């Protein structure tokens, strides 16, 4: 068919209509939020009502100037909302801004499966079905969450199927956690070093800005370190007696209650060690959480090594003294 002027549109919009269950009242609820009375055409008994003078709106609240009767027929046509398919011109559409008021939701999907909206305080992306995926179509293109001065909060579980980098985007950097794994009885991670002839600190522990310890891995060994730099110490004393303190320790054999095999182990009871080497014990005896769950004492056996070394030195000195007598 011939025509004069612009090419006729091959797609059209259908305006949304809402029919009301009418009663003797002035207040009704709209199916969609609107910003002004002019955004809808309101009809009562097929007579269009005047915006502002006959009715007002506030988001989804519709208020009539006069109450309707139970026999009236009332419906509204949303002039700013359309359904169906809109043809997109060749070359796309350029839009500087789409303004949506607070609590008005952009709904995507046949069943409104995805909602994007701002509730007046927070911005929300709500997914109702399937998996919400944030991905790039091109390999190697990064995705950034948050800002250098913002905090990203995860309120649910996090599943990582690939590598996770912390403080870097480079696979050659040591700040990489890979192959997070989880089993019924334990969780853990593998910290990966891509080789090299030098030792690498895979984990460094800090307190108030000072390194307090680390886990170091080279090509052959793993070492667990506690900071012992002389520059961090004072009141150094080499003249103290260790043998009498060591004799107060009570090595014992026991099995853990949770061990169904009742396998005996050699060790100590933490609260008995705390009176001899208090810095070797973490937590207090009989400590529990607010709900009564046991907070077990923990023992750092490495803190007993200086006592053992000093005792051996004292015994060696006594043996030498006896041999020279």
- pLDDT for the residue 82: 42
Kind of pairing between the strands at 210-217 and 298-299: unpaired
- pLDDT for the residue 92: 57
- pLDDT for the residue 83: 44
Block means of pLDDT (10 residues each) for the chain, 325 residues, are 58 79 94 89 95 93 94 90 48 67 86 89 88 76 72 75 67 53 55 59 84 85 90 94 96 96 96 96 94 94 95 96 93
- pLDDT for the residue 157: 75
Question: What are the domain boundaries of the chain?
Answer: 14-83, 160-192, 200-232, 243-324
């Amino acid at each position: 068919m011939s025509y004069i002027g612009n090419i006729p549109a091959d797609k059209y919009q259908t305006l949304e209509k809402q029919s009301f269950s009418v009663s003797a009242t002035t207040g009704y609820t709209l199916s969609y939020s609107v910003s002004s009375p002019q955004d809808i055409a309101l009809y009562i008994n097929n007579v269009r009502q005047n915006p502002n003078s006959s009715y007002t709106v506030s988001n989804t609240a519709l208020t009539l100037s006069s109450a309707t009767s139970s026999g009236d027929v009332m419906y509204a046509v949303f002039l700013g909302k359309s359904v169906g398919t809109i043809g997109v011109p060749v070359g796309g559409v350029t839009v500087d801004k789409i303004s949506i008021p607070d609590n008005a939701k952009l709904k995507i999907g046949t069943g409104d499966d995805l909602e994007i909206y701002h509730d007046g305080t927070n911005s929300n992306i709500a997914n109702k079905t399937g998996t919400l995926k944030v991905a790039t179509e091109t390999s190697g293109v990064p995705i950034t969450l948050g800002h250098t001065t913002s905090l990203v909060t995860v309120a649910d579980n996090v599943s990582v199927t690939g590598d996770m980098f912390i403080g870097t985007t480079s696979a050659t950097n040591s700040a990489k956690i890979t192959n997070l794994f989880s089993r019924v009885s334990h969780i853990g991670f593998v910290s990966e070093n891509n080789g090299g002839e030098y030792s690498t600190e895979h984990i460094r522990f800090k307190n108030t800005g000072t390194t307090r310890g680390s886990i170091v891995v080279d090509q052959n060994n793993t070492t667990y370190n506690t900071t012992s730099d002389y520059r961090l110490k004072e009141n150094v004393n080499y003249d103290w007696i260790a043998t009498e303190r060591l004799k107060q320790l009570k090595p014992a054999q026991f099995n853990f209650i949770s061990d169904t095999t009742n396998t005996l182990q050699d060790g100590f009871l933490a609260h008995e060690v705390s009176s001899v080497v208090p810095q070797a014990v973490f937590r207090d005896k009989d400590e529990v959480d607010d709900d009564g769950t046991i907070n077990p004492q923990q023992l750092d056996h490495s803190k007993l090594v200086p006592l053992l070394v000093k005792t051996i030195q004292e015994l060696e000195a006594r043996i030498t003294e006896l041999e020279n007598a």
